[in-house]
Structure 1
């Protein structure tokens, strides 16, 4: 399974990547903002899942989601963020996010959310 992990915090990327690794996700490509993520994403680049933060420089997570969806890609996308306001959650869902995980989170919560968004949840 190949995951695109987008967060401007290198520490947070390491924490999430470590969690994904313990869930047998074998390939994680990291990006520090939406611009880097779009370059890595290319024409889909074989990603099975995109995990993105909301608040980032250059291109935020919501703009990234909109760019991926407007290009016609159906890859599951999960927003992992500190944004908890209902209006923010609604915006993310309207933009095409498949699920939403609020920081801080634990391993069990991440695994539960992944099983909801992945087409093959038994892989997690």
Structure 2
């Protein structure tokens, strides 16, 4: 969420967290660039009037770089001309302030569904079949019971199967920047849980010291 009204933003983020959405807050365009340089996001909530420039400029910059991450504009500029300008610049949705939190969450869910449908092809790895659209997995014909963070970790691993992903990279897929009370070593716990679920299936998660984790098939 790129928003300089921090009281408003923190309230929104708290509600999103209760709805199961991890959300980071950038109060400036420069901070947003820094966050995006180290973390991929499923969606962006973007204000227009920011202390160091226009959110529309950032939107155009994102689209010019080929990034199709869904963007919802959340702004007090709510005239028809403002909406048309933002949508033409590449916004996927537009919500004027003041707004109802329930509508914001519903619009975000709709954006995420559309993006998931665009990437809906299942990913196969031996007996493991993973569906990105709802982060579900079937192993040997049986659906895996995954917690939200286990599913997020599996998502990162299977999307990059064959590659070692660092502990920090995986941590950023599971937690927001404000989860300072959760250490990066928490990843080891979730890796252990996934390994237990994969036991005897031929699917394994290997570790390379100092490099990270990789999902693959035994042998």
1:22 aligns with 2:21: no
Aligned mates of 1:16, 1:63 — CA distance in 2: 23
Larger relative contact order (CA 8 Å, sep ≥ 6): 1
Q: What is the TM-score normalised by the length of structure 2? A: 0.50
Q: Which has the greater radius of gyration?
A: 2
Q: Deviations over 1:18-77 (max 9, x none)?
A: 12112110x22211111211121127x221111111111112211111111111101000
User: 1:43-58 to 2 correspondence within 5 Å?
Assistant: 45-58=39-52
Aligned mates of 1:21, 1:83 — CA distance in 2: 26
Q: Deviations over 1:64-98 (max 9, x none)?
A: 11111111101000000111111110110011110
- 2:63 paired residue number: 69
- 1:31 paired residue number: 26
Contact 2:46/2:73, CA 8 A, preserved across alignment: yes
| Alignment RMSD (CA, Å) | 1.8
Identify which of 109, 114, 120 aligns with 2:103. Answer: 109
Q: Give unpaired runs (5+ residues) of structure 2.
A: 117-132, 136-219
Could you tell me how far 1:122 is from its partner in structure 2? 6.7
Could you tell me how far 1:101 is from its partner in structure 2? 1.1
SS of equivalent residue, structure 2 residue 12: helix
- 2:86 paired residue number: 92
1:41 aligns with 2:75: no
Runs of 4+ in 1 over 3 A off after TM superposition: 120-123
Q: Give unpaired runs (5+ residues) of structure 1.
A: none
Contact 1:35/1:59, CA 8 A, preserved across alignment: no
Contact 2:78/2:97, CA 8 A, preserved across alignment: no
Q: What is the TM-score normalised by the length of structure 1? A: 0.85
